[in-house]
Amino acid sequence: MKILSAYFLLITILIGTDDLFAQEADSLIELYPGIGKTLSILDKEYYNLFNQFKEFERGELFIKDDKYLVSKIRYFLQGGSKDTILVQPISVLDTLRLQISTIQEEYDIKFDSPIDVKILTVTGDQYEGKLEMFGKKYLYLYSEEGISTGGTSHLRIKIPVSDVEAVVIPGESNTLSGLVYGSLAGGVIGFIVGAIYTKDQQCFLGTTGKLWSIMAVGGFGMIIGGLVGLLVGGVSSSSDEVIEIVTIGDLIKLKEYAKYNPGDKSPPGVKYFQLDSL
């Protein structure tokens, strides 16, 4: 009986040792430079990864035996977290990296000129500037005139995401441009109509009367055109967009407005003044 027990114990140890060696053979990797060895919801959404998991939480990637890409995915299911394993050919790794590189280049070109925003903090402070980047930990703001931060001013600051209440994207007002272009268009049309209308009536109006008639019709056209342009401009104007930052997942809404900085690393030679957590 003791011999049999010892035999089963030896088998158990050998099996456990094989499993340990198998785990050690797997190499945890960084999918793309700067992302880190754990994929977040931001990484997944920004680079369109693992779209089969709608409630993605995080992921880790391993290389097994230099032949397979093993992805350990954690996602939400029915109010709880669940893990699953994907085993794919190692060639999938190159495909994913190419996809990330392509998207990164597209967004670098798209956001070559950062947009103006207002960042509201949980304590009521407000910072205005151009949103150069956003990451998991910080929002990166720039202003040529400097950004006031409690008695001092800095060209570039980074604000902890945990301190951000909302990001405000200013709307676009087209009322003034609509008024100007509408008035010009209406005036031109009015002068043309006036000239045609008075062409054959010079003998009755005289040269001076003809000019006054043309000017009157042109002025009337400017008024009508300006009113139409004002109306069109008002309709086409947009209000401010307020993006509330409640969870880390809310940051992905900034995807349409700024570049993503997955590793929260400043570009070479560029320094951001870090605001202390509030």
State how far the Cα of 40 lies from the Cα of 35, in Å rounded to an integer: 9
The sign one gets for the Cα dihedral 264, 267, 268, 271 is: negative
pLDDT reported for residue 239: 75
Domain boundaries, the chain: 2-109, 115-170+240-274, 175-236
Q: How many CB atoms sit inside 10 A of residue 202's CB?
A: 12
Structure tokens belonging to residue 7: 């035999």
Within the chain, residue ranges assigned H as helices are 2-25, 41-46, 91-110, 175-198, 202-236
Long-range pairs, 213-218, Cβ under 8 A, ≥24: 215/191, 217/190, 217/191, 217/193, 218/187, 218/188, 218/190, 218/191, 218/194
The CATH number of the structural domain formed by 115-170+240-274 is: 2.30.30
Containing 72, the helix (H) or strand (E) segment is strand 68-77
pLDDT reported for residue 74: 93
pLDDT reported for residue 188: 74
CA 42 to mean position of chain CA atoms: 11
pLDDT reported for residue 1: 47
- Is 268:125 a contact under the CB 8 Å cutoff? no
Amino acid at 181: Y
pLDDT reported for residue 127: 94
- Is 117:132 a contact under the CB 8 Å cutoff? no
pLDDT reported for residue 50: 92
- Is 60:71 a contact under the CB 8 Å cutoff? yes
State the virtual CA torsion across 224, 225, 231, 236 in degrees, nearest 10. Answer: 170
State how far the Cα of 263 lies from the Cα of 193, in Å rounded to an integer: 63
Our CA angle for 79, 82, 83, nearest 5°, is 165
For residue 153, what are the β-bridge partners?
A: 148
State how far the Cα of 226 lies from the Cα of 192, in Å rounded to an integer: 17
| DSSP per-residue letters across 175-202 | HHHHHHHHHHHHHHHHHHHHHHHHGGGH
pLDDT per residue rounded down to tens, the chain (278 residues): 445 444 444 344 444 444 433 444 578 999 988 888 999 999 999 999 998 888 899 999 999 998 999 999 999 887 788 999 999 999 999 999 999 999 989 988 888 889 999 999 998 999 999 999 999 999 999 999 899 887 889 999 999 999 999 999 986 655 666 667 777 776 678 667 656 666 655 545 556 665 666 677 667 667 776 677 667 655 555 578 899 998 888 999 999 999 999 888 888 889 999 887 55
Q: How many CB atoms sit inside 10 A of residue 273's CB?
A: 14
pLDDT reported for residue 26: 75
pLDDT reported for residue 92: 94
Query: Computed over its alpha carbons, how large is the radius of gyration of the chain?
Result: 32
What pTM was computed for the model?
0.66
